[in-house]
Structure 1
């Protein structure tokens, strides 16, 4: 699969001046037609000066601000999203909201979710249009760990920890790979932290079910080195910060 994305690079570079509408398209503001409609209604600020001409020539050194946000001409976009329960990880769904309801239309530039979370599961979801990074995070060979917080009915016991670690039969052709269970509290309703390295359908729920428990609440806390930003409320997202962008480089290079 990796060769499919070999043509991708980390960023565009200016080779000459560029039309403002094309620059805004490359920055993820919208399609060319959407950008022209936007410019009829509101200006973009170039070096502090308002500009509404789609054909205005932008130079590499220009500072472009749109709706109080500094823009850059990027090829790849990386977002950390706090997925709420009740939406699906699909581009289109005729029954449920999708995660892209929460990401403004002008940011949808061939974006896809890095893996999936169930309809009723919330928590960390990475969103990008970088195919190499996507593959590095989801390839079964990489075994990227994913940490979940789970509330379940029934009493969690030490035997459950052993079962998780042994590789449970969850109804597929092959048993699940060994997973780590840490018991936080135990009783009629129990709480645990689960780390899995696969991305099977409903895997965490099925692991608990194989131990006679039912998941009532599930939240992903981390995926590899990426952690849920607790400052984000469900439904909110932000761009990767500098530290997270360094993780991207490491995952893409195979050093993680």
Structure 2
């Protein structure tokens, strides 16, 4: 009797572990949080629109990554539907690169991905090569990247680790150091409770709250005489 109960408990534990290992496949993107959760299995990234629609790409097994819900990514690219074709895209704190890859799938001319974690960057490079997409991975910290020689981008995705005070500083550097085209679109995802002010030239275009995150899409509008 005790042995049968023990076997049933062990089987139940294995099923729960299997479900946990499969869960990352439901997410659309992976970004590092401020905390380091338990190590979890690799999953898949599914692109949802454009040339690479329904393509599934592997996600590296790396602690401290969080998935962004599919519906948030789908909503974001519905907002950007007429602003992607032929544009230059910058994906900061890229993680799996799902946002930049989605933009390439939907007609962006090129995408630069900034990712400093070696195994995550390697997987992203492999996925770009698999797709034959016009993307390049910069293996460097975002802070160092943004102090380099600037090149203006039309669309920027900024989804830093939560609760580390990184979003405001990155936004300031994007604005002040020449990284943005005159009417650039900037998507910033932060923890939902964060109260911060974007640069003066950024006008809020759309926003979405999902779980612990608050996504805001801004359009840069410079004053004209």
The reply to whether TM is greater than 0.5 is no
- Which structure exhibits the higher relative contact order, with contacts defined as CA atoms closer than 8 Å and separated by 6 or more residues? 1
More helix by share: 2
User: Could you tell me the TM-score, scaled by structure 1's length?
Assistant: 0.19
User: Could you tell me the TM-score, scaled by structure 2's length?
Assistant: 0.21
